[in-house]
Structure 1
Amino acid sequence: MSDDVEWVDEEAGPVVRPYAVTGGRTRASCSSFDLLSMAVATGAPVSPGASLGSEHRRLLNLVRRARPIVEIASDAELPVGVIKVLLGDLLDQGLILVRSPLPAASVPPESLLRELISGLRAL
């Protein structure tokens, strides 16, 4: 049986459980995935020996442009945990890049805010 067969029932939706899609794995090979991390395909060719299932190939199509992990999960209609495992496989094979979200800007000191307010009032 081919890996490219989609296991979908017209009325019930997907009939393969998420643990079957990930081969029973519950964690990605790397822990750098955050819900807001951005994933994008590298454009590297898939090696002939790569064991990519239909879900892996579908994710490669979804990340042709940089997208957050949570958006990929929504569009793929799979749980975020499953997406993280599958993206981890693609990352291990060099087929995607993942960038962590930028840290939130720090809050300016209160003294600077007070000076700003005083300056605005002076106008």
Structure 2
Amino acid sequence: MSASSAGDGPWLDDAAGRLVRPFTVSNGRTRPTVALDLMTQVMATGVTPLGYLGPEHVQALDLCLGPVSVAEVAAQLKLPAAVAKVLLSDLVDCGALTAKPPEFHHHPTDRALLEAVLDGLRRQL
């Protein structure tokens, strides 16, 4: 068994992939305690969390030195978004992260905006 890269440690394997099931990382929890969507911006506060943090919590906190979306954290951690939301909400609960909803200059369900996105997607296909 060889590790994918030096930073991945024992959590990833070239042949087997992730060695720890994603929901083991969140202790089987599937619902975050803080409402987060994929575009929510999270950022470290500088507060050091008290108590034990798992390695994924530490990695997530390291990714949040500047504002970053929940989707980006999930992608960087190679975890499902639901698991990343649980980890991030743990960090918000202990004061190590702040969460800010995305700012829309337009209403996110504005018909003109949705039609423009649909047109762009159709051109890509």
TM tier, smaller: 0.7 to 0.9
1:18 to 14, 17, 22: 22
Query: Deviation string for 1:38-76 (max 9, x for gaps)?
Result: 0000011232xx121000000000111100111111111
Q: Who is 1:41 aligned against?
A: 44
Larger radius of gyration: 1
- 1:91 match: secondary structure: helix
Q: Who is 2:71 aligned against?
A: 70
- 2:42 match: secondary structure: strand
Separation in structure 2 between the aligned mates of residue 104 and residue 42 of structure 1, nearest angstrom: 26
- In structure 1, list runs of 5 or more residues that go unmatched: 108-123
1:73-88 matched pairs, under 5 angstroms: 73-88=74-89
Q: Who is 2:91 aligned against?
A: 90
Separation in structure 1 between the aligned mates of residue 96 and residue 64 of structure 2, nearest angstrom: 10
TM-align CA RMSD: 1.6
TM-score by length of 1: 0.74
Shift of residue 15, structure 1, vs aligned partner: 1.0
- 1:58 match: secondary structure: helix
CA contact (8 A) 1:6 1:54 kept: no
Percent of aligned pairs with the same amino acid: 37
Separation in structure 2 between the aligned mates of residue 26 and residue 84 of structure 1, nearest angstrom: 9
- In structure 2, list runs of 5 or more residues that go unmatched: 1-8, 111-125
- 1:101 match: secondary structure: coil
Shift of residue 91, structure 1, vs aligned partner: 0.5
TM-score by length of 2: 0.73
Q: Who is 1:29 aligned against?
A: 33
Structure of greater relative contact order (alpha carbons < 8 Å, 6+ residues apart): 1
Q: Who is 1:115 aligned against?
A: none
- 1:55 match: secondary structure: helix
